[in-house]
Amino acid sequence: METKTSKGILLFRSGNLKEALLIFSTFRIGFTKEEKRTLKIARESLSGNSSFYRQLGIDTDKEIEKSKSIIASKYLIMK
């Protein structure tokens, strides 16, 4: 059975960050408040709302890169 986590990891590994963020940004457990915010901003930026966050003074490219490292550190790097 495929879980949301395994589907998100597969999408992330295949380079489909937008779809992976759609999954990971819905998780309630496993991320800090700041990490959830980063994932949400990255998801919305990739969905076409980056101008809104830029108007607020948020560097959307930096948030997207942070979201990649958050996902990689939680799910790709084996502990």
* Other beta carbons less than 10 A from residue 55's beta carbon: 8
Give the pTM. 0.85
| pLDDT for the residue numbered 79 | 45
Q: How is residue 44 written in tokens?
A: 């919305």
* Other beta carbons less than 10 A from residue 30's beta carbon: 11
pLDDT, tens digit, 9 for 90 and up, residues 17-63:
999 999 998 988 889 999 999 999 999 999 988 899 999 999 999 99
Asked if residue 9 lies in contact with residue 76, where contact means CB atoms within 8 angstroms, the answer is yes
Describe the crossing of helices 60-71 and 17-24 by its angle, rounded to 10 degrees: 70
- At residue 1, the 3 state secondary structure works out as coil
| pLDDT for the residue numbered 17 | 92
Q: How is residue 62 written in tokens?
A: 């930096």
